Amino acid sequence: MDEFQTGEETAFVVDEVSTIIKESVEAAIGGNTYQHSRVNQWTTNVVEMCLSQLSKLGKPFKYIVTCIIMQKNGAGLQTASSCFWDNSTDGSCTVRWENKSMYCIVSVFGLAI
């Protein structure tokens, strides 16, 4: 009984997701300078845009998108994540972006249903 063929369409494709993230970040904060009053809106926009593009892919995945925006000021920032999942089907992708006044780090985690 051939019901569901697991192939490329159901694996987490890092390159595709990476492109989606980069486009979303560029569109949301592309030419802007860090502004305390607007950064709240920016992080929200970045995650929402990424998530809507990802769900449009129509794959059987649950997604978690996180975004960090940090002002360039000389401070040190270190992030790490650890995941307990199914290695054969789940995956993640992290994109680091920066401009003259800020850093933006976006991570997408995709978990197969």
CB 103 within 8 A of CB 69: yes
Q: Which residues pair with 111 in a beta bridge?
A: 62
Q: How far is the CB of 83 from another protein (least distance, A)?
A: 5
Nearer to another protein, 36 or 100 (CB): 36
CB of 43 to another protein, least distance (A): 4
- The answer to whether residues 77 and 70 touch, using CB atoms and an 8 Å cutoff, is yes
User: Which is nearest to 62 in space by CA: 44, 45, 86?
Assistant: 86
The residue (of 9 and 64) whose beta carbon lies closer to another protein is: 64
Residue number with CB closer to another protein (9 or 86): 86
Nearest-angstrom CA–CA distance, 7 and 74: 45
* Beta carbon of residue 48, minimum distance to another protein (angstroms, whole number): 6
Whether 16 and 97 have beta carbons less than 8 Å apart is answered as: no
The tokens for 55 are: 């769900």
Task: Supply the minimum distance, in Å, between the C-beta of residue 31 and another protein.
Answer: 18
Applying CB under 8 A, the residues found at the interface with another protein are 34, 36, 39-40, 42-44, 46-48, 50-51, 54-55, 62-86, 90, 92, 107, 109, 111, 113
